[in-house]
Structure 1
Amino acid sequence: MTSILSQPLDLPCGVQVKNRFGKSAMTEAMCGPDDDPTQAHATLYNRWAKGGMGVQLTGNVMVDRRYLERPGNVVVEDNSNLSALSAWAEASKVDGCQIWMQISHPGRQCPIVVNTRPLSPSAEKLQILGLFGKPRAMTDDDIEDAIARYAKTAQIAQKAGFDGVQIHGAHGYLISQFLSPITNQRSDEFGGSLENRARFLRRVYAAIRAVVGTDFPVAVKLNSADFQKGGFTLEDSCQVAKWLQEDGIDLIELSGGTYEKMSFVNGTEDEQRDSTKRREAYFLDYAREVRKAVSVPIMVTGGFRTRTAMEAAVTEDGIDMIGLARPLCVLPDAVADILAGKVEDISSDESGLNIGRGRFGANTKSWLANLVNTVSQVEFYAWQMTRMSRGQEPQSELRNNATLYFLWYLNRTTMRGIGRKFAKRRS
C-alpha cells in the first residue's frame, strides 16, 4: 500500500513538492574565511538528495557578513559567489528533489569571536558563558538595511538556481527577537503590540516576494512558542501565521525555542519530564492549534522517528510535510527506505552523548551539564555531515564522549573565527 507520505504537495504559488518529506535546516559551518560555499556543500546535499527527499532546506545562509550564527556560515550579500552557489544548487537536485535556501540573520545570537557588538531589536544581552557580546539596539537605518539584505539574498538564491527560500523566523535569531517581547523592548512601530513586533517579519517577506515573483516558493520557519515566561506564545504564533497566510506565504515550518531554551534540540520541558511515553514530534500539539488558525501548508520538525507517527500527523492532524534533521545525518537514505517500506523506525540512541550519566548524576539539573549535553548532541551530527561532505558514510554508532564533541564545537568556532578575522585583515 502506498504511503500518504509519498503523495506530492501543491504549494499556493503553484509549485509542487514530490513528497511529504523536508530536510530541515542544520547549520553546516563548512565555509572557509571567504564565507563562500564549497564542494563540501555540493557533496553533502547531493548525498541527501539521493536519499529520496522532497525538498531540502539549507543551513542558515547569512545576509550580512558582519554578523554570523557561527564562523563557517555561508554568506550571500552580492553576486561574487554566484558560481559556487549555482554548483551547490545543481548538485542538490536529484530525481525531482528541490533545494530551498534558508535566509537568516543571527541578531544577538552572534558569537563574540565574530562580532563583539551584534545587532538586536533591543540591547538585551544573551547570557551564555560569555560567548556573546552585548547587542546594540537597531536604528531605523539598521532595520531598513537588514530588510533589504534579506531581499537581496533571496534574489541571488533564485538567480543561482535554488528552487525556493525560507525566512528563518525561529530559534531566537533576529526575526524571532523582534517577535518576542523579551528581546523586543522597542517603543516605535516595530515594538509593543504583536502587530508591531511582527512588522519586521512581514516587511522582510514583502521585500522578498517583490523581487522573486509570485511563482517562487517563499516559506517561513516560525516558533510555535519561545517556551520562556513572558516570551512569544502559541497564541502569538497562531496570529502571526494568519497574517503570513494573508500576505501569501507558501509554507510555514513550525519549531520552537531559543538558545536559552533549546526546545528545537531536546523537545519541550513537558516532554522531557514524560518518562512513560515515547516522545515524537516535539511541536505537534502546538502545530494542531496553528492548523486550526490557517490553511496554508504546515511542516513540523522535531522528534519524528516512526513511519506510523509521520503518517498519523498527515492523515489525522492535517500536517502537510514531515521535517527531518538529525536522523538524516546517520541515515541519509531514511526517506527512501521509509517510502519503500524497508524501515519503520529511524531512532538512534543518544545516551552516549549525555554527561549527566557521569559525575553530574543521572537526573542532573546543572545548567552546565545541560549545555554540554545539548551542544555535544548537535556536534555529533555536525561531524556526520562533515564525513558525508567528504564522500564518506556516517558513523552511526555513538561514543560515550560528550565532552569531546563540546570541545570540538569550541575549537571549530574559535579557530574559524580567528582565521576569518586574520584573512580579512590581509585582504
Structure 2
Amino acid sequence: MTDSASPATRAADILSRPIALNGLTVPNRIAMAPMTRQFSPGGVPGEDVRSYYARRAAAGVGLIITEGTYVGHESAGDSDRVPRFHGEEQLAGWERVAADVHAVGGTIVPQLWHIGMVRTAGSPPFADAPAVGPSGIAADGTEGAGRAMTQGDLDDVVGAYAQAAKDAERIGFDGIEVHGAHGYLLDQFLWEGTNRRTDGYGGDLVARTKFAAEIVAAIRGNVSADFPVIFRYSQWKQQAYDARLAETPQELAAILEPLTAAGVDAFHASTRRYWTGEFDGSDLNLAGWTKKLTGKPTLTVGSVGLDGDFIRAFAGEGSRTKGIDDLLDRMEREEFDMVAVGRALLQDPLWAEKVLAGRFDELAPYDAAALKTLS
C-alpha cells in the first residue's frame, strides 16, 4: 500500500478483500457484531428482523453475526422477545432470515447463547427454569440466586448447542458463533470469579475451559467438516468491566489452546476499545494476541467508528465519529483479519457502503435515543 493512496482507495483495498473461514468465503472484512434488540416476540424472528439483517448485508456487510439466540435449554434466557434457535416456528423464521441475506450477497451465522447465572428467577420464556452456572454464584459474588450445574445439566447444555449448530447448517446458515463472552454461561466457567468447582470443570485455567471445549467439540462433531465454528470471548464482563481471564500471553494461550484443539475455526475477541493494547509492553489488542497465539483468523470489535467506548454510549452520552486510520493500519499489518462493527452499523445501515466508498463525511455520530426509530 502506498502512502499516496487516498483514504477511499485505502479503505476499499484493505476492507474489500475476501477471507476464508474454514469452508466459507466471506466477500469482505466487515462483519456485523451481534446486538440484542428484543424484536422477536415469542422468540420468533419476523419480517422486520429479516429486513434488518438483509438491509445491512445489501449495503456491504460481508458477514452478519446475528444477535444472541437462545439454545434449546429452558434456563438459557430471560426474555420472550429475544429470538430462540429451537422450535419449529423459530427455526422457520431464521431460515427466511438466512435466505434473505443470501439473496443480497451476504453471509450469515447465528450467535448461540446461554446466559447462565444472569437469568432472573421467574422470567420468561420458561418461568420455572432456575438460573444455573458453574457454581451457582453470580458475577458479583452473590450466592443463592441459582444453582450449580450437575453433570446432567452440563450434558443437556452441550447437547443443546450441538443441536442448534446442526439446525443452523440444515436451514442454510453459513456457520455458527458460540457466545463465550461478557459474563454469560460459558464465560462463567472460564472465569475464576464465578467458577469455584472442584471437579474436572474447575480449578486451573485449562480445567476451566473444559466445558466450552466440550461444547465446541460436540458442535464440530454435529456439522460438516468445512462448516465454520467461531468462538466469541472477552476479558471483561458486563457485571465486572475490569475482570480478566488472563494476565499474560502465556495464560491466554492456556485458555485458547484447548478451544482451538476442540475445533474453533476463528475467534471473535470482544474488547471495549479495539485500539487498546491487551498486555503491557505491546500494542497488540486482544484479537491480535489471539491470532499470534493460535494462528487462527480473528475478528476484532470494540467501539469501531466511535470516539468513545460503548459503556458511555449506552449510558446516553453519545459518541462522535472516530476515524478508522488506526484500524486500517492494524489490518494492513495483519494484526487481525476482520472487524466487527456494532453501534455504528446499528445507527447507520449504510456504514459499510459509505466506508468502502470513502464517504466518511456522511457517517453519522451514534445517538442512542435516535435508535428507537431505526431499523
SS at match of 1:102: strand
Q: Does 1:151 align with 2:168?
A: no
SS at match of 1:101: strand
1:310 alignment counterpart: 327
Among residues 133, 140, 143, which one is paired with 1:120 in the alignment? 133
Aligned residues: 334
2:267/2:297 contact within 8 Å kept: yes
Q: Percent identity?
A: 26
Q: TM-score, normalised by structure 2?
A: 0.81
- Structure 2 unaligned residues grouped into runs of 5+: 1-8, 279-283, 306-322
- Structure 1 unaligned residues grouped into runs of 5+: 257-263, 268-278, 351-376, 389-427
Distance 1:187 1:176 in 2: 17
Distance 1:42 1:147 in 2: 28
Q: Does 1:169 align with 2:202?
A: no
1:179/1:232 contact within 8 Å kept: yes
1:10 alignment counterpart: 20
Q: TM-score, normalised by structure 1?
A: 0.72
- Opposite residue 186 of structure 1, the aligned amino acid is R
Shift of the alpha carbon at 1:303?
Answer: 1.6
- Opposite residue 158 of structure 2, the aligned amino acid is I
Question: Counterparts in 2 of 1:30-179, with a 5 A limit?
Answer: 30-32=39-41, 34-63=42-71, 64-112=73-121, 113-114=123-124, 115=127, 117-126=130-139, 134-179=145-190
Distance 1:282 1:336, change over 3 A: farther
1:282/1:302 contact within 8 Å kept: no
Distance 1:255 1:237, change over 3 A: farther
Distance 1:80 1:329 in 2: 26
For residues 283-331 of structure 1, the C-alpha deviation after alignment (integer angstroms, 9 at most, x for no partner) is 7623333232121001011122133122112112521001101001111
Shift of the alpha carbon at 1:280?
Answer: 4.6
Distance 1:299 1:174 in 2: 21
Distance 1:241 1:383, change over 3 A: farther
Q: Does 1:333 align with 2:333?
A: no
1:220/1:252 contact within 8 Å kept: yes
Distance 1:382 1:146, change over 3 A: farther
Shift of the alpha carbon at 1:8?
Answer: 0.6
Shift of the alpha carbon at 1:196?
Answer: 1.2
1:292 alignment counterpart: 292
SS at match of 2:233: strand
1:360 alignment counterpart: none
Distance 1:125 1:246, change over 3 A: closer
SS at match of 1:111: coil
- Opposite residue 118 of structure 1, the aligned amino acid is A
1:412 alignment counterpart: none
Distance 1:285 1:43, change over 3 A: same
SS at match of 2:61: coil
SS at match of 1:322: strand
For residues 102-158 of structure 1, the C-alpha deviation after alignment (integer angstroms, 9 at most, x for no partner) is 001000112343357301111213559x9x980211011000000000011111111
Shift of the alpha carbon at 1:381?
Answer: 7.3
Distance 1:314 1:174, change over 3 A: same
For residues 243-299 of structure 1, the C-alpha deviation after alignment (integer angstroms, 9 at most, x for no partner) is 33333322100014xxxxxxx4xx5xxxxxxxxxxx856876233332321210010
Shift of the alpha carbon at 1:232?
Answer: 1.5
SS at match of 2:218: helix
| Worse-superposed segment, 294-303 or 235-244 | 235-244
